[in-house]
Amino acid sequence: MDQFISLPRGTADILPEEALLWQAMESQARTVFGVYGYQEIRTPFFEETDLFARSVGQTSDIVQKQMLNLAAQTEAQENDKSTSLSLRPEGTASIVRSYIQNRLDKKEKLSKLFYIGPMFRGERPQKGRLRQFHQIGVEAIGPDSASPFLDAEVIALGTNLLKQLGLNDFVLRINTLGTLEDKGAFSGILKDSLQDKIRNLCPDCQNRYDRNVLRVLDCKNKECRSVVEGLNFWRNCEYLSPKSKEYFEAVKKALDALEITYVEDPKLVRGLDYYTHTVFEFSCQRLGSQDAVGAGGRYNNLVEQLGGPVADAVGFALGMERILLATAKEGAELQAGLDAFVVCLQEEGLLKVFKLLQDLRARGVSADMNLRPGSMKSQMRQADKAKARFVLILGEEELKAGEVTLKDMKQGVQEKFRLGAFEEIVSKIRSNKSEN
């Protein structure tokens, strides 16, 4: 026998019982987004590689080490060998590309968009960090988005969504990076302060020193953390311009007004180059060292950087696998079960039972059956496994009398109906369903 083919490393099957959790999460997210006036957008799973390199940053870990590129050339690409495609490592770049290409700035002053779907990164797989992972995210983009109140609204949206998804013990950390000029000044000062400490940094951070020194601040390595804790110049955010400080104070006042608890963390910088001003992260200690369940921030220059109009933006993304790990829910808790399971005990009654099953489904009653006659015991076991509220039984007696027995599995009572009294049967099932 040939050896079976396993799923690729760093991916996972979402089995039916687990899928119930994903469906519940997606449904809850769509409800919350609707309350805040966000609309869904769906973009391709892959884009031109240059889109991510220009947005996320050539020196970011994503572009340097984690991008999953597509090897196969499409017919269109054969005429342009310089074009390469990559699976999307995050959602923001694709949303901004779509915003520009579809000229959404001409349709509305502020586009409030959300997305749900898989992302791809070629990193070392570990618990909660897969090569194919899933995110729920939002992006608010437009000429009218440069407001600290929008920053606070987006953070409030993320806070509310996490609570609605059953995660209550998370920590919200916030910081400000200021303008691009402020970030440049910060990077220069940080480089000067770390110059005589490079040998104490981990190999990744030694590379980051030249490529993207801000990333040293959020490294999880103990030695790097120790070095960073010894730096004091940045704690008072002296590199920030007065306007940047004023903007961040306005964001914090808005969060205070909404009674949203947060922790100011000057080490929080996020790993993507496009962030400016407000950055934030939701973390949960139960996840261990990789404790982030979601993060986001403002990115005021990305739309222009990618060839679009003047349009500021702010958004976030939540990791669906991370949330499931943090809430540790069981799929069985969500399984409502079937409305009815139809039992056929005689071969000659199979056609009638099959027709009855389809009639139930046509009227919106969730139902199933064993497509081969079997014993009462085995079929009742199937009904129980399917968590069916009702069982319709057509045995030898019922077939001769032209009846069907309807058993309420919750109440333990049963009654007979004429096979022709179909609407009465459906009404009985629906009335009990509405009561529960």
Q: pLDDT by residue (tens digit) across 153-193? A: 999 999 999 999 989 889 999 999 888 888 888 888 888 88
Higher pLDDT, residue 379 or 74 = 379
Residue 64 phi/psi, 5-degree rounding, is: -70, -40
The residue-averaged pLDDT of 216-227 equals 79
* pLDDT at position 63: 58
Give CA angle at 155 (297, 294), nearest 5°.
65
Q: Where do you find CATH 3.40.50.800 in the chain?
A: 336-435
Q: Which 8-state DSSP code applies to residue 231?
A: -
Residues near 225 by beta carbon (within 8 Å), at least 6 away in sequence:
219
Residues near 364 by beta carbon (within 8 Å), at least 6 away in sequence:
none
Residues near 436 by beta carbon (within 8 Å), at least 6 away in sequence:
389, 410
Q: Inter-axis angle of helices 242-257 and 148-164, to 10 degrees? A: 40
Six-digit token string for 346: 């005689």
Q: Cα dihedral angle (369, 371, 375, 379), rounded to 10 degrees?
A: -20
Q: Where do you find CATH 3.30.930.10 in the chain?
A: 16-179+241-327
The residue-averaged pLDDT of 210-239 equals 75
| d(C-alpha 328, C-alpha 326), whole Å | 6
**CA distances in angstroms from 281 to 140, 173, 374, listed in the order given:** 17, 5, 56
Report the chain's mean pLDDT, rounded to a whole number.
85
The neighbour count for residue 264, using CB atoms within 10 Å, is 13
Give CA angle at 182 (282, 239), nearest 5°.
90
The residue-averaged pLDDT of 243-252 equals 94
Which of helix, strand or coil describes residue 18? helix
**pLDDT band at 82, cuts 50/70/90?**
low
Residue 400 phi/psi, 5-degree rounding, is: -65, -40
| d(C-alpha 385, C-alpha 201), whole Å | 56
| d(C-alpha 108, C-alpha 178), whole Å | 27
Asked whether 133 and 91 are in contact (CB, 8 A), the reply is: no
| d(C-alpha 364, C-alpha 299), whole Å | 47
**CA distances in angstroms from 405 to 354, 362, 413, listed in the order given:** 16, 20, 10
Q: Which 8-state DSSP code applies to residue 14?
A: -
Architecture category of domain 336-435 in CATH: 3-Layer(aba) Sandwich (3.40)
Six-digit token string for 45: 């799973």
Task: Report whether pLDDT(260) > 90.
Answer: yes
Six-digit token string for 265: 């963390």
Which residue is listed with tokens 């608010």? 140
pTM as predicted? 0.84
115 strand-pairing partners: 137
**298-353 confidence digits (pLDDT tens):** 999 899 989 999 999 999 999 999 999 888 754 445 556 899 999 988 888 888 88
Task: Report whether pLDDT(57) > 70.
Answer: no
Task: Report whether pLDDT(263) > 80.
Answer: yes
| d(C-alpha 102, C-alpha 359), whole Å | 45
Domain at 16-179+241-327, CATH homologous superfamily: Bira Bifunctional Protein; Domain 2 (3.30.930.10)
